């Protein structure tokens, strides 16, 4: 289990980070495109295209950071679910369909805009295409379903099969978790933007100064929002948290976020020289966020394992009972009687041994004693030779005793 939880931590952190970069990056790209239409400064359109280019610069990135981790997360959740057909698993599987669709639309939008601006002047640009907003819509829906599924698993630990994913998505916990992901998305996009866009040579450019100041302010606002949401969200799950490592990870994540906010806003006038510390601190926060989710998952999974184990034991018990009933061989008592008994005994007459009617009635109220006698016969009447042991099995002796009592006594 420890290995699966560790793999979940890695896969979940990679997927959430990549999804956050897609949501935040697409939003910022659209924002700067619209800003260009208002201000007519080419730098804004450059920012927009650069943001899109960084999100689409490698064909393997969507698979390695998005699709593969997402499928890994879904697989791990299936392993720990007491019912693979429950709404949580169904919803997670749905994200594996919606997410690639969003990636394809996002890629098409990037190619369309880059091709247009490569053959046309910036002044010919008239606005965003519907593809841009459509891809953002798909990513937000994936975030909504994905966070709702995870929250549903955390909240319904020990009874995941009965979890209602839709009621969880729109519950307070679900909404807070979803808004938290959106806030982290914008925060992630902003800090990437600040780190990779601002260089010393552009320090005198008015558009850069204006954008840098706006981005720093947005980072402060979204950072405070993430801090509060992260705090509230995890305390709302305190009934599922029983291990100290969670709180250690939780505190490290919060402290890292505070450091990142402080450095971005404390040194926004010289960002090109000071982004290493806040960027590293923010990455630690992302790892802490993924680690806290892994701890929440572990606690919920422990409860689910107990339910699955109990359910398995009950099913195995029922199986053994059914299996035993199906495989039990019916003993032919009458056949044994005619094969082993009738040569020496008769119902009414004395032969080699006494008649059954003179012996069997003595065992009228004790079938078990008659069975034991048939298994291990002993000499009782000196007028007859001892009865040889017929080598009967216990089930055969029991069936023969029952048969004789029915024939003689009843």
Looking at residue 160, its pLDDT comes to 44
* Average pLDDT score, the chain: 77
Tokens read off for 49: 């295209």
End-to-end CA separation in angstroms for the chain = 63
pLDDT band with cut points at 50, 70 and 90 for residue 102: very high
| Angle (deg, nearest 10), helices 87-119 and 130-155 | 160
Contact 268, 123 (CB under 8 A): no
Cβ proximity of 29 and 131 under 8 Å: no
Q: Which long-range contacts (CB under 8 A, 24 or more apart) does 31-40 make?
A: 32/211, 33/125, 33/127, 33/128, 33/132, 34/127, 34/128, 36/122, 36/125, 37/125, 37/126, 37/127, 39/207
Sorted by sequence, the CB contacts under 8 Å of residue 95 that are 6+ apart come out as: 70, 74, 142, 145, 146, 149
Q: What is the per-residue pLDDT for 71?
A: 93
161 pLDDT more than 50: no
Reported as half-sphere exposure (CB side, CA atoms, 13 A), residue 47 has a value of 32
| C-alpha–C-alpha distance, residues 345 and 329, integer Å | 27
Q: Name the most confidently modeled range: 97-101, 215-219, 235-239.
A: 97-101
Is 333-409 in CATH node 3.40.50.620? no
pLDDT tens for 120-134 read: 776 667 766 688 889
Asked if pLDDT for residue 188 goes beyond 60, the answer is: yes
- pLDDT for res 140: 93
Q: What would the pLDDT profile of 40-53 be if each residue is shown by its tens digit? A: 777 777 777 777 77
**Residue 190, CA distances (Å) to 107, 156, 387 in order:** 21, 35, 98
10 Å Cβ neighbour count for 204? 8
pTM above threshold 0.75 = no
Higher pLDDT, 153 or 211: 153
């Amino acid at each position: 289990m420890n290995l699966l939880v560790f793999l979940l931590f890695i896969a979940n952190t990679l997927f959430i980070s990549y999804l956050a970069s897609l949501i935040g990056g697409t939003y910022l790209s659209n924002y700067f495109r619209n800003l260009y239409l208002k201000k007519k400064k080419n730098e804004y359109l450059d920012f927009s295209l650069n943001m899109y280019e960084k999100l689409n610069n490698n064909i393997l990135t969507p698979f390695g950071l998005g699709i593969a981790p997402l499928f890994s997360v879904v697989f791990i959740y299936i392993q720990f679910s007491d019912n693979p057909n429950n709404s949580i698993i169904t919803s997670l599987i749905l994200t594996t369909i919606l997410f690639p669709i969003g990636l394809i639309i996002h890629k098409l939008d990037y190619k369309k805009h880059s091709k247009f601006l490569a053959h046309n002047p910036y002044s010919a640009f008239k606005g965003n295409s519907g593809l841009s907003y459509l891809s953002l819509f798909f990513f937000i829906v994936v975030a909504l379903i994905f966070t709702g599924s995870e929250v549903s698993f955390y909240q319904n630990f020990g009874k995941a099969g009965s979890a209602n994913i839709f009621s969880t998505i729109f519950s307070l916990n679900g909404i807070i978790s979803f808004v938290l992901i959106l806030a982290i998305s914008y925060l992630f996009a902003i800090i990437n933007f600040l780190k990779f866009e601002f260089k010393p040579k552009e320090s005198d450019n008015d558009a850069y100064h204006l954008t840098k100041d706006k981005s720093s302010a947005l980072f402060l606002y979204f950072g405070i929002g993430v801090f509060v949401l992260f705090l509230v969200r995890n305390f709302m799950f305190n009934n599922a948290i029983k291990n100290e490592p969670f709180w250690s990870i939780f505190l490290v994540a919060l402290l890292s976020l505070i450091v990142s906010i402080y450095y971005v806003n404390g040194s926004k006038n010289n960002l090109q020289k000071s982004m290493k510390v806040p960027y590293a601190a923010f990455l630690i926060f992302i790892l802490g966020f993924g680690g806290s989710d892994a701890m929440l998952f572990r606690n919920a999974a422990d409860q689910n394992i107990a339910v699955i184990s109990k359910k398995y034991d009950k099913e195995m018990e029922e199986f053994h009972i059914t299996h035993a009933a199906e495989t039990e061989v019916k003993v032919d008592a009458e056949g044994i009687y005619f094969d082993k008994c009738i040569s020496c005994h008769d119902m009414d007459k004395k032969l080699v041994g006494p008649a059954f009617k003179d012996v069997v009635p003595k065992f009228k109220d004790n079938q078990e004693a008659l069975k034991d006698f048939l298994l291990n016969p002993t000499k009782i009447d000196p007028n007859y030779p001892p009865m040889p042991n017929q080598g009967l099995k216990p089930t055969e002796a029991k069936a023969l005793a029952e048969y004789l009592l029915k024939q003689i006594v009843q």
